[in-house]
């Protein structure tokens, strides 16, 4: 970590290096509104007590469909699940029920609280998936950026020890293999560089919490299949983060995909493109996992 702070700013602040950054947000909001109007959905279903502890569910036509849970990014401090509804459409067409859990944001809550909320959301999904025509024992988690971090934390969770809180999260013991697989897209798995990044003013990490909330601090007990992906146009640090996770989780990380022509903000669009290898990779792993 003996680098000047502006190094990490250039590496992690995508708005500095993607001139048309705002157009991705605008495009995603418009596409998502159109998709919500087309798809059969259950929006803002509560899994916990706070107003943002809600899940959007986009149902596949097929009964007992596998579940893809997509966790959005935004450095734990911004964005909303409703901006990414467009990702659901091609997966639903492939026979996959897509769910998008929301969480509270920093600085109102800590990263640790966000992780706990995602644990509660996925425990809720396991216990209530059948009510929405899905098969809770076929739950695959994906996430982008901060969502990639959270997806990795779900893969590392000791579900059999989890009791949970909020509506529907308590009850029968959860299976150790609740998460059948994960795809961590452009994720942050070593949070120590965040201490040198201006966004940490809102994120609120210190050395102890950065270590405690880093997926590489943990080693999943089960060999949960984990896949990483990064855009070919992303920074050296985002590419390093994927290598680090593979180094620390050799029993879990089964593959890595570098998406040609994509920057950090373009990766959700790549995931939603049926022609893109990222979409096909995640689709096939969800259907066959």
Q: How many CB atoms lie within 10 A of CB 273?
A: 17
Distance of CA 255 to the CA centre of its chain: 17
Task: Decide: 20 and 38 in contact? Cβ < 8 Å.
Answer: no
Against a cut of 0.85, is the pTM above it? yes
Q: Return the sign of the alpha-carbon dihedral for residues 56, 216, 259, 75.
A: positive
pLDDT on residue 255: 98
For 99, the token pair is: 């769910």
Strand 54-58 to strand 97-101: parallel, antiparallel, or no bridges (unpaired)?
Answer: antiparallel
| Residue pointed to by tokens 């425990």 | 123
**What residues make up the domain containing 74?**
5-288
Instruction: Kindly report the backbone phi and psi dihedral angles of residue 86, in degrees, each rounded to the nearest multiple of 5, phi listed first.
Output: -60, -25
Which 3-state string (H, E, C) describes the chain?
CCCCHHHHHHHHCHHHHCCCHHHHHHHHHHHHHHHHHHCCEEEEEECCCCCCCEEEEECCCCCCEEEEEEECCCCCCCCCHHHHHHHHHHHHHCCCEEEEECCCCCCCCCHHHHHHHHHHHHHHHHHHHHHHCEEEEEEEEEEECHHHHHHHHHHHCCHHHCCCCCCCCCCCCCCCCCCCEEEEECCCCCCHHHHHCCCHHHHCCCHHHHHHCCHHHCCCCCCCCEEEEEECCCCHHHHHHHHHHHHHCCCCEEEEEEECCCCCCCHHHHHCCCCCHHHHHHHHHHHHC
CATH number at 101 reads 3.40.50.1820
pLDDT on residue 136: 95
pLDDT along the chain (289 residues), means of 10: 82 94 97 97 98 98 97 98 98 98 98 98 97 97 98 97 63 90 98 97 98 97 97 98 98 98 98 98 95
CA distance 14 to 27: 17
**pLDDT per residue as tens digits for the range 101-123:** 999 999 999 999 999 999 999 99
- Which of 78, 83, 55 is CA-nearest to residue 68? 55
pLDDT on residue 25: 95
Residues 6+ apart with CB under 8 A from 38: 89
CA distance 31 to 38: 11
Angle between helices 111-128 and 146-156 (to 10 degrees): 60
* Number of domain units in the chain: 1
């Amino acid at each position: 970590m003996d680098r000047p702070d502006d190094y990490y700013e250039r590496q992690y602040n995508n708005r500095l290096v993607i001139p048309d950054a705002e157009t991705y947000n605008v495009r995603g909001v418009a596409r998502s509104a159109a998709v919500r109007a087309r798809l059969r959905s259950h929006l803002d279903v509560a899994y916990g007590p706070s107003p943002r502890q809600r899940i959007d569910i986009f149902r596949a036509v097929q009964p007992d469909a596998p579940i893809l849970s997509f966790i959005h990014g935004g450095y734990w401090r911004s964005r909303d699940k409703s901006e990414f509804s467009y990702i659901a459409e091609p997966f639903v067409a492939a026979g996959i029920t897509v769910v998008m859990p929301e969480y509270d944001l920093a600085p109102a809550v800590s990263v640790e609280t966000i992780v706990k909320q995602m644990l509660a959301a996925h425990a809720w999904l396991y216990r209530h998936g059948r009510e929405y025509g899905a098969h809770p024992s076929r739950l695959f988690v994906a996430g982008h950026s901060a969502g990639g971090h959270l997806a990795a934390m779900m893969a590392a969770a000791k579900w059999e020890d989890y009791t949970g809180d909020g509506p529907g999260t308590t009850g029968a013991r959860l299976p150790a293999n609740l998460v059948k697989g994960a795809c961590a897209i452009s994720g942050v798995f070593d949070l120590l560089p965040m201490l040198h990044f201006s966004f940490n003013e809102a994120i609120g990490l210190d050395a102890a919490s950065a270590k405690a909330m880093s997926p590489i601090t943990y080693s999943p007990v089960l060999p949960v299949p984990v896949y990483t992906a990064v855009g070919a146009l992303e920074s050296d640090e985002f590419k390093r983060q994927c290598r680090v996770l593979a180094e620390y989780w050799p029993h879990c990380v089964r593959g890595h995909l570098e998406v040609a022509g994509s920057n950090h903000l373009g990766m959700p669009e790549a995931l939603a493109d049926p022609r893109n290898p990222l979409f096909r990779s995640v689709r096939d792993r969800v259907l066959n996992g």
